[in-house]
């Protein structure tokens, strides 16, 4: 069989993965705190036809001759660039301007998110939309008249006597390699062996971003870029199917040599 046919198949598989990632990006264009994915490719092993030779006294050197055997998936990156901030004027809607993640507790596991749409449960605990408590735990009494959250993460409330009381500080987690975090769904990330261990910082300190109350971070997906990449993937897939079609026609001619 022709090597070009298998090269075309590997290219089709790669562009299918690229389209899957693009589709997920577009589906999450309005997801708060979503970070887009990006697919990169690398070539497969090349078959050696002849090796290189060094120059001698009577003849110059020659370069190696190799036939490539197709492409394969190189990486699927998560792009952690800052999304635009959408103003909501709701006090418990928070976004991070800069680096870092909110921390939430799911049983014994600590998970991380850039989506800061927070709520108060029946007990007055600060939770996310799935009921996971913010770390460190912050509680607001039901008798509180108003709540305010500063850029340094300090949560204050006015009690029934009209006095301003501090409920706690929302800390931000920073990672040596945020690209190494693993998406686990529900706008959450999980620590991995390559992300490094999270360090909890007060907002605005040691490189951590600041908190902007009354705003939410939008997805960093750029629709114009995604549609362009979709066209590239579509044409790349189409070109690889043409390779298979052409290889098939050549095989048909070989079969028809003996009639």
Residue 115 shares a structural domain with residue 176:
yes
Kindly state whether residues 113 and 186 are assigned to the same domain: yes
Domain that holds residue 211: 85-217
172 and 188 both lie in a single domain = yes
Does residue 70 sit in the same domain as residue 96?
no
Does 60 map to a domain?
Answer: no
The verdict on 194 and 96 lying in the same domain is yes
Same structural domain, 203 and 133? yes
pLDDT at 227: 96
**pLDDT score for 259:** 66
Q: Is the residue at 180 inside a domain?
A: yes
In a domain, 57, yes or no: no
Query: In the beta sheet, which residues pair with residue 149?
Result: 155
**Residue found under tokens 């999450």:** 28
Q: What is the pLDDT along the chain (259 residues), one digit of tens a residue?
A: 578 888 899 999 999 999 999 999 999 999 999 999 999 999 988 888 998 989 988 899 999 998 989 999 999 999 999 999 999 999 999 999 999 999 999 989 999 999 999 999 999 999 999 999 999 999 999 889 899 999 999 999 998 888 999 999 999 999 999 999 999 999 999 999 999 999 999 999 999 999 999 999 999 999 999 999 999 999 999 999 999 998 888 888 888 887 6
225 shares a domain with 212:
no
Determine, yes or no, domain membership for 250: yes
Query: 102 and 139 share a domain?
Result: yes
128 with 167, same domain: the answer is yes
pLDDT at 167 (0 to 100): 93
Is residue 59, in this structure, part of any structural domain at all? no
Q: Which residue has the tokens 């800052």?
A: 82
Total domains, the chain:
2
Residue 160 maps to a domain: yes
- pLDDT for residue 3: 84
Give the pLDDT score at 159: 87
Q: What contacts 48, CB < 8 A, 6 or more positions away?
A: 64, 65, 66
Q: Does residue 58 belong to any structural domain of this protein?
A: no
- Specify whether 36 is located in the same domain as 150: no
pLDDT at 248: 86
Q: Closest Cα to residue 18, out of 81, 70, 76?
A: 76
SS3 36: coil
On whether both 145 and 208 belong to a single domain, the answer is: yes
Virtual torsion, Cα 180, 184, 185, 187, nearest 10 deg: -50
């Amino acid at each position: 069989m022709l090597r070009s046919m298998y090269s075309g198949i590997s290219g089709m598989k790669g562009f299918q993965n690229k389209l899957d990632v693009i589709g997920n990006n577009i589906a999450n264009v309005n997801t708060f705190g979503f970070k887009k994915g990006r697919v990169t490719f690398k070539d497969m092993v090349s078959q050696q036809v002849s090796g290189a030779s060094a120059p001698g006294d009577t003849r110059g050197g020659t370069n190696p001759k190799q036939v490539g055997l197709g492409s394969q998936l190189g990486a699927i990156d998560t792009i952690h660039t800052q999304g635009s901030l959408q103003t909501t004027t709701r006090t418990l809607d928070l976004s991070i301007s800069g680096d870092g993640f909110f921390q939430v507790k799911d049983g014994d596991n600590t998970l991380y998110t850039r989506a800061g749409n927070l709520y108060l449960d029946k007990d007055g605990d600060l939770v996310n939309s799935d009921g996971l408590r913010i770390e460190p735990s912050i509680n607001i009494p039901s008798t509180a008249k108003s709540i305010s959250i500063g850029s340094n993460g300090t949560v204050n409330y006015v009690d029934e006597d009209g006095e301003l009381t501090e409920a706690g500080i929302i800390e931000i987690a920073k990672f040596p390699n945020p690209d190494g975090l693993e998406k686990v769904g529900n706008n959450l990330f999980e620590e991995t062996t390559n992300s490094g261990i999270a360090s909890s910082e007060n907002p605005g300190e040691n490189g951590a971003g600041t908190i902007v109350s009354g705003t939410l971070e939008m997805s960093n997906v750029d629709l114009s870029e995604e549609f362009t990449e979709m066209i590239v993937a579509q044409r790349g897939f189409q070109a690889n199917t043409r390779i298979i079609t052409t290889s098939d026609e050549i095989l048909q001619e070989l079969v028809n040599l003996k009639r």
